[in-house]
Amino acid sequence: DTAVSQTPKYLVTQMGNDKSIKCEQNLGHDTMYWYKQDSKKFLKIMFSYNNKELIINETVPNRFSPKSPDKAHLNLHINSLELGDSAVYFCASSQLTKRNAEAFFGQGTRLTVV
Amino acid sequence: DAKTTQPNSMESNEEEPVHLPCNHSTISGTDYIHWYRQLPSQGPEYVIHGLTSNVNNRMASLAIAEDRKSSTLILHRATLRDAAVYYCILLRREYGNKLVFGAGTILRVKS
């Protein structure tokens, strides 16, 4: 069983479109994250939800909107896609109440905007 | 965000030990030292973490300096599958456990 799964794995779309990436974790964790890895390979956190409540919201354009229907899911919706949104997006989860709080990452969604 | 400094790249021979250094001179008393690695085309993977004492697990060992301003990840016998980017990260719970990734160290393993 995959601990953190993202769909789709690859997404190619045109500028201006709206798209969503889904993430699910079966680890029973209370916190989920979205990270973005750009072409230079830098990984940056975008959002985090703890028990369906937004706790981290880094400087991200309003076109990006996370949605957490329940603790096991955190989806990322992107409006009006731009060329600069092309990147690999990683979902992750961890248990905030644990002292070590290791994070588990999904395999990533490679988004290409053309 | 607490900053760490790592060498850009390192090279190792297969079956030999590898010591990956990390400097974190601005570490605070409650920061945990975490190491993750990212294999090609995969998501980051947790390796090990520690607070003050040295730590061992099935993947690696973590040696933490007495003043906690530096640490070293030790892979006891490098294999080709260990070729990856290794990230040293300081974790603060009050920041929602967010991981702040630097550039990391690219580890190349030669057969």
- B12-58: per-residue pLDDT in tens? 999 999 999 999 999 988 889 999 999 999 999 999 999 999 999 99
What beta strand segments (E) does chain A contain?
4-7, 10-13, 19-25, 31-37, 43-50, 53-57, 64-70, 73-78, 87-94, 104-105, 109-113
In tens, the pLDDT along A26-50 reads 999 999 999 999 988 889 999 999 8
> What are the start-end ranges of the H helices in chain B?
none
Q: What span, in angstroms and rounded, lies between the C-alpha atoms of A19 and A13?
A: 8
Would an 8 Å CB–CB cutoff place A12 in contact with chain B?
no
From B43, B49, B100, residue closest to A102, measured CB to CB: B49
Would an 8 Å CB–CB cutoff place B1 in contact with chain A?
no
Is the model's pLDDT at A62 over the cut of 90?
yes
Residue A17 near residue A81, CB atoms below 8 Å: yes
Q: What span, in angstroms and rounded, lies between the C-alpha atoms of A25 and B64?
A: 32
From B46, B95, B101, residue closest to A42, measured CB to CB: B101
Instruction: Give the closest residue to B67 by CA, choosing from B82, B52, B47.
Output: B52
